[in-house]
Amino acid sequence: MIDATQWFKPLRKNLGKKNCELSPEDRQRIVDVFVAFEETAQSRIFPNAALGYWKITVERPLRLTVDLSAAARARFRSVCADADEAPLANVIDRLADALGPGPHLDFNTILREVERDADEHNVKLTAKRVKLLQTALAQKDEAAAPVIKKLHKPGKAVADPLYGRFLLPSPLLGRGVGSEGTSTIVEYEPATDLRDTEQVPLLEDGGIDAFFRREVLPHVPDAWIDTEATKIGYEISFTRYFYQPQPLRMLEDIRADILALEQETESLLQDILDV
């Protein structure tokens, strides 16, 4: 990278916004610096990877709480009426009688009970209806349990919290999942409003994993990396490599400027009063 911002010749007459050009001497100077291939104040040498980065997507789990109070169910029934989903509202009313008003901090438990009641009353629990439960009945709550998106069959996946595969004791997942003393690998539903991105240098010592453990997990311990969204990009920032900080002004100079402004202000005020 060559900083040639100070090597130019002013034009005799501006051409629109153009007011300078590279003279033959300037062009030769750039070529000479390139051929010399040495580190100087105007020349920096990097491997290509030094300019590259991984752009990773950081996900956090969706956490939902469910209120089954009469007022909440009335609002949900109104939404169901507009969506022509009255059977789903009936399921929720029966669920409130069985579980109480709540609030219930584990949407996974609520969903399992909804599935059980729907089966008993021949109500098909479609993806649309599950989405309606999430958006119209449940509320986001950081104190709630993460919403489970997927359960992996035993032996089909390896736990890796850094990449969104978490190991949970089967009893915590409810009836019919595993047995006492066993664990199941799960993936959580991501909260889109909490999604974030980070840029990890390609030359990061330890790679993405080390960066994530150092820079992300201490602040959001429940976060993970969406591997399918990871991309590689390059950024060339001349300012970063060639910036020359200006020396700070001396306090005496600043004080002198302030006193001069005060005197000028007093003089102007006196002129106004004299008028």
User: Is the model's pLDDT at 181 over the cut of 70?
Assistant: no
pTM: 0.72
Give the model's pLDDT for residue 183.
78
Selection from 239, 166, 237, 224 nearest residue 194 by Cα: 224
The backbone region for 8, taken as left when phi is positive above 0, alpha when psi lies in -120 to 50, beta otherwise, is beta
Q: Grade residue 173 by pLDDT with cuts at 50, 70 and 90.
A: low
Mean pLDDT of the chain: 88
The distance in angstroms from the start CA to the end CA of the chain is 62
User: Is the model's pLDDT at 88 over the cut of 50?
Assistant: yes
d(CA 40, CA 53): 25
Selection from 173, 75, 183, 52 nearest residue 132 by Cα: 75
What would the pLDDT profile of 14-29 be if each residue is shown by its tens digit?
888 888 888 999 999 9
Q: Residues 46-71: what's their mean pLDDT?
A: 93
d(CA 130, CA 245): 57
d(CA 150, CA 89): 25
Residue 74: is it exposed, middle or buried by C-beta count within 10 angstroms (0-12/13-18/19+)? exposed
Tokens encoding 149: 């998106």
Give the model's pLDDT for residue 221.
93
Q: Residues 67-77: what's their mean pLDDT?
A: 92
What would the pLDDT profile of 196-243 be if each residue is shown by its tens digit?
999 999 999 999 999 999 999 999 999 999 999 999 999 988 888 888
User: Is the model's pLDDT at 79 over the cut of 60?
Assistant: yes
Q: Which residues of 222-232 are buried (b: 16+ CB within 10 A; e: fewer)?
A: bbbbeeeeeee
Strands 9-15 and 183-188: unpaired
The backbone region for 100, taken as left when phi is positive above 0, alpha when psi lies in -120 to 50, beta otherwise, is left
Among the ranges given (33-37, 76-80, 179-183), the one the predictor scored with the smallest mean pLDDT: 179-183
H/E element holding 225? strand 224-225
Q: Grade residue 141 by pLDDT with cuts at 50, 70 and 90.
A: very high
Cβ–Cβ < 8 Å for 7, 29: yes
Give the model's pLDDT for residue 182.
64
Among the ranges given (67-71, 90-94, 235-239), the one the predictor scored with the smallest mean pLDDT: 235-239
Strand segments, DSSP code E, in 84-195 are: 138-140, 148-151, 166-169, 183-188
What would the pLDDT profile of 93-117 be if each residue is shown by its tens digit?
999 888 898 899 999 999 999 999 9
Q: Would you call 56 helix, strand, or coil by DSSP?
A: strand
Among the ranges given (53-67, 96-110, 115-129, 176-190), the one the predictor scored with the smallest mean pLDDT: 176-190
Cβ–Cβ < 8 Å for 51, 228: no
Tokens encoding 251: 């306090």
User: Is the model's pLDDT at 175 over the cut of 50?
Assistant: no
Give the model's pLDDT for residue 172.
53
User: CB-based contacts of 193: which residues, under 8 Å, 6+ apart?
Assistant: none
